């Protein structure tokens, strides 16, 4: 395992004004999906939106991130906590992995408690497929509350 990882983050465009505070805090603290990098140095080499539906920037942004050394792309937690969750999530993962040869991780910061409750009530993540998608950002209640 390398002790240094270069990552890119693509956020949902509906949150295009987000300053990245939760993502950057989670990265610094190795929480949420960034638990994957505990014990490693991580460098953020790109941060952008998908470009808005249907996600045209996903076609080009990974290439720019690769020029900066990206080894993995994270699709920000907003793609699963927004309502509705991104309908192109699977397509984005497939496209980036097949077109650029980079692994894609769904999620960045832990799911905030308020979103957890909303999606639990709606049954959004009730299927095994959704449980697999949110596995890296579905933390325990104290962590979810800390990200509310």
pLDDT greater than 70 at residue 2: no
pLDDT greater than 70 at residue 1: no
pLDDT for 124: 96
pLDDT tens for 77-126 read: 999 999 999 999 999 999 999 999 999 999 999 999 999 999 999 999 99
State both tokens at 26. Answer: 């989670």
pLDDT tens for 27-49 read: 999 999 999 999 999 999 999 99
Taking all residues of the chain, what is their mean pLDDT, rounded to a whole number? 96
pLDDT for 32: 98
Task: Please give the order of strands across the beta sheet that includes 4-11.
Answer: 41-49, 4-11, 72-75, 104-106
Long-range contacts from 17-21, C-beta under 8 angstroms, 24+ separation: 18/78, 20/47
Domain covering 4-141 assigned CATH 3.40.50 in the classification: yes
Place of tokens 């408690």: 113
Alpha carbon separation from 117 to 50, 51, 81 (Å, rounded): 26, 28, 10
pTM listed for this prediction? 0.95
Question: By the 8 A CB rule, do 80 and 111 touch?
Answer: yes
């Amino acid at each position: 395992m390398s002790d240094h990882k270069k990552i890119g983050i693509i956020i949902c465009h509906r949150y295009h004004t987000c300053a990245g505070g939760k993502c950057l805090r989670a990265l610094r603290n190795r929480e949420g999906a960034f638990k994957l990098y505990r014990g490693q140095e991580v460098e953020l080499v790109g941060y952008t939106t998908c470009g808005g539906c249907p996600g045209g920037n996903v076609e080009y942004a990974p290439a720019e991130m690769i020029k900066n050394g990206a080894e993995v792309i994270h699709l920000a937690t907003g793609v699963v906590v927004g309502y509705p969750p991104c309908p192109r999530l699977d397509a984005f993962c497939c496209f980036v992995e097949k077109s650029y040869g980079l692994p894609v991780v769904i999620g960045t910061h832990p799911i905030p408690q308020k979103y957890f409750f909303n999606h639990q009530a709606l049954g959004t993540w009730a299927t095994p497929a959704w449980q697999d998608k949110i596995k890296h950002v579905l933390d325990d209640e104290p962590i979810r509350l800390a990200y509310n």
